């Protein structure tokens, strides 16, 4: 009986492995057998959502294969490269592009002729024109533009600068890596950790609302700065931008005007344990709900931190860092009635003939705030654009909800942020 049990258990595991686990093992980037697939398969293409080629393999008359990136720098980080500094979609979906689900008869003929089969294509969610607009708008600035469809989690654009030309990376690689300050190979949209500054006031506001049901009665008189106990009897200042005197501020006005003094004061009124719990709920200190490789954002507020550190944390300074991907997920959740949709970059895998092999559907992670909380935050974010720190975005012909942020970074300068969505009443991006 023991032998029969072990035999059936073994057979059961083989069936489970073949049906459930085998695909993950086969497609894992670390599987060394993937490289052998290149002996028999011509690497598939990476396509934009409209079918435009973002990466393809050209074969010369001598049989030499060259990976070509028609849009060069514009898609460098999100598409990545397939050889040197293997990264982006080229790395994550390598196994899919080296498997061929083409016509079986054609594959047999190719095998008999000793010719390679054509690998499957990866069709992304990326909008070609939007990516180009984002790339051009960022200009020569260092930074990120990231756009998500909030109702589905589809990533429509992902630009990171400084960048590089993937077509010439092999020739320039040694020069790039020899400069330790060169960040052109880093996709800062997913792997860049930045001090959030005032966009973090979204979380402070939400925590204050949860702890104080009478939040509409909040009032603070701003004189342009606030002095708080920095520990050991030392008083330290936190100032509003340019030490602007905002006067009497309620919660909505504090948010619209991004009043540091008011929010630092607000931070001292919060329960630190609850604040930590809220930030955990808002996906800090953990893996984000996406298969896209990324770093974790971090938030730390200790029970023995000084009032000054609490105030600094409440305005988005302190010991807090965020990735742009995380920020985009949070603002998309606000736009989607508090529900997080898992961000994704690939719509489907198709064979070379265009027949779908695998379709990826939107996935709901869950609700991180109530729909009423999301509605209140949306109203406050609209005020930011209509009468607050982002009035340069008003008058566009549609309502925009957003939040600005300027974070001071020692020995670096400022991180300038904007997070938002539009149209505010029926968000699309």
pLDDT at 63: 87
What size, in residues, is the chain? Answer: 429
pLDDT at 19: 75
pLDDT at 23: 65
Query: Hey, how many other C-beta atoms are within 10 angstroms of the C-beta on 325?
Result: 25
Judge whether residue 32 has pLDDT over 80: no
pLDDT tens column, 258-309: 999 999 999 999 999 999 999 999 999 999 999 999 999 999 999 999 999 9
pLDDT tens column, 34-93: 767 777 899 999 999 999 999 999 999 998 999 999 999 999 999 999 988 899 999 999
Backbone dihedral angles phi then psi of residue 251, each to the nearest 5 degrees = -65, -45
pLDDT band at 412 (very low <50, low <70, confident <90, very high): confident
Q: Count Cα atoms within 13 angstroms, Cβ side, for 357.
A: 20
Residues 126-134: what's their mean pLDDT? 98
Residue 299 DSSP one-character state: E
pLDDT tens column, 304-332: 999 999 999 999 998 999 999 999 999 99
pLDDT at 108: 80
Residue 21 DSSP one-character state: I
pTM for the model stands at: 0.91
User: How far is the C-alpha of 427 from the C-alpha of 275, rounded, in Å?
Assistant: 28
Nearest to 84 by CA among 182, 190, 164, 180: 164
Residues 128-147: what's their mean pLDDT? 97
Specify the residue for token string 């670096």.
Answer: 412
Select the more confidently predicted residue: 27 or 344: 344
Nearest to 90 by CA among 74, 103, 79: 79
pLDDT at 411: 72
As a whole number of angstroms, the longest Cα–Cα distance in the chain is 83
Q: How far is CA 392 from the centre of its chain?
A: 25
pLDDT at 22: 67
Provide Rg for the chain, Cα atoms: 25
């Amino acid at each position: 009986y023991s032998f029969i049990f072990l035999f059936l258990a073994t057979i059961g595991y083989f069936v489970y492995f073949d049906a459930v686990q085998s695909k993950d093992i086969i497609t894992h980037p670390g599987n060394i057998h993937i490289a052998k697939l290149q002996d028999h398969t011509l690497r598939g293409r990476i396509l934009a959502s409209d079918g435009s080629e973002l990466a393809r393999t050209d074969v010369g008359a001598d049989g030499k294969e060259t990976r070509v990136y028609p849009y060069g720098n514009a898609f460098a980080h999100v598409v990545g490269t397939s050889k040197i500094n293997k990264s982006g979609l080229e790395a994550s979906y390598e196994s899919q592009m080296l498997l061929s689900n083409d016509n079986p008869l054609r594959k047999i003929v190719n095998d008999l002729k000793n010719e390679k089969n054509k690998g499957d294509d990866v069709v992304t969610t990326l909008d070609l024109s939007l990516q180009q607009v984002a790339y051009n708008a960022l200009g020569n600035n260092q930074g990120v533009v990231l756009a998500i469809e909030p109702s589905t989690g589809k990533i429509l654009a992902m630009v990171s600068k400084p960048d590089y030309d993937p077509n010439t990376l092999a020739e320039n690689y040694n020069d790039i890596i020899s400069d330790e300050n060169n960040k052109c190979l880093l996709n800062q949209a997913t792997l860049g950790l930045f001090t959030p500054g005032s966009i973090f006031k979204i979380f402070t506001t939400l925590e204050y609302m949860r702890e104080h049901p009478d939040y509409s009665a909040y009032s603070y008189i701003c004189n342009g700065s606030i002095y708080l106990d920095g520990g050991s009897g030392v008083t330290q200042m936190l100032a509003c931008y340019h030490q602007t005197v905002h006067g009497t501020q309620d919660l909505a006005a504090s948010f619209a005007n991004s009043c540091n003094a008011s929010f630092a004061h607000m931070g001292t009124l919060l329960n630190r344990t609850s604040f930590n719990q809220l930030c955990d709920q808002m996906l800090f200190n953990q893996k984000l709900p996406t298969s896209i490789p990324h770093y974790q954002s971090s938030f730390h507020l200790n029970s023995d931190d000084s009032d000054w550190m609490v105030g600094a944390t409440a305005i988005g300074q302190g010991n807090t860092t965020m990735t742009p991907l995380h920020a985009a997920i949070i603002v998309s959740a606000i736009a989607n009635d508090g529900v997080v949709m898992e961000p994704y970059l690939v719509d489907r895998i198709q064979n070379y003939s265009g027949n779908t092999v695998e379709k990826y559907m939107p996935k709901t992670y869950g609700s991180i705030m109530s729909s009423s909380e999301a509605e209140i935050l949306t109203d406050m974010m609209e005020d930011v654009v209509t009468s607050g720190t982002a009035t340069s975005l008003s008058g566009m012909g549609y309502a925009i909800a957003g939040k600005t942020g300027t974070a001071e970074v020692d020995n670096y300068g400022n991180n300038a942020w904007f997070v938002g969505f539009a149209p505010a009443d029926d968000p699309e991006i």
